Amino acid sequence: MSRFRVLQFNMQFGQIWDERHPDRAPVRLDATLEEIRRHDADIVFLQEVEQARPGGVQAEPPPNFTRLKAELAGYHAAFGYPKADPRELPFGIGLAIFSRAPLRDLKRLGLPSPPIEFEFHGRKLTPTDRLLMSATTTVQGREVRLINTHLLAFFMLGTSSATNPAQRSLVAEQLAASAGPTLLAGDFNVSGHASLVDQFAACGFKTVQDREPTWRRRPFVLDHIFHNAPLRCVGHSVNPSPASDHHALVADFEFAAG
């Protein structure tokens, strides 16, 4: 059977990894492009494509996505920002999907965040909403649904997504409604990922791996590629990348018989 490759990568808006000064490392989009190209994937899921700007301003057209789209020849691409919000902090926002085949039926679903107070540089804030983006493409003559998301990091707010399940539940609803070949990828920001894996397994989806950490800052498995029964994972790898504080997760798939 023919195989196709999927890349999951939180690109941290192009900020490279510097172990000594991770928060002051420079942005080098060339490194992001090199990382994407070296995996030669048929489908690419990206999170934190852009860096949030002061006051929640969302640049149009999105500069990083615009350059990626221009330089990644042979791909069709789609991008989505979360709901604009003046509370947005200067970290990564925005999702992108790249596919060798055209993308259609693009949809965006807001994932509301609960009003949990936290302190940032002496200010009391609450978290902004997140996003789920989906599209359909064709692989080897068959329709495949693609879902990309980036959930709130509840562990950084002193709580968990198990205690605050609304975002995960909205993702699970999308999975439960998707019977055909479907891929869900993203940065799920769940430190204790076993409950997430079990929740999505109840919807008929399994992750390609849940043992190797995918984040440099703490040994957490934050990044996943989930798939349902019409797809079979025939190989995967977690690839430490100098282009982000996340590793690149790569998986090879084929269609299941029948």
What residues contact 208, with CB distance under 8 A and at least 6 apart? 224, 225, 226, 227, 233, 236, 249, 251
Q: pTM score, two decimals?
A: 0.98
73 burial level (CB within 10 Å; 0-12, 13-18, 19+): exposed
Note the pLDDT of residue 1.
Answer: 56
Please give the class, per CATH, of domain 4-255. alpha beta
Note the pLDDT of residue 258.
Answer: 64
How many whole angstroms separate alpha carbon 9 and alpha carbon 249?
Answer: 6
Note the pLDDT of residue 253.
Answer: 98
Q: Which of 51, 65, 47 is nearest to 9 (CA)?
A: 47
How many whole angstroms separate alpha carbon 187 and alpha carbon 66?
Answer: 22
Residues of the chain with pLDDT under 70: 1, 258
DSSP string, 77-105: EEEE-----TT--SSEEEEEEEESS--EE
* Sequence spans of domains, the chain: 4-255
Note the pLDDT of residue 182.
Answer: 98
Note the pLDDT of residue 121.
Answer: 86
Asked if 223 and 246 count as a contact pair (C-beta separation under 8 A), the reply is yes
pLDDT digits (tens, 9 = 90+) for 109-140: 999 999 999 999 889 999 999 999 999 999 99
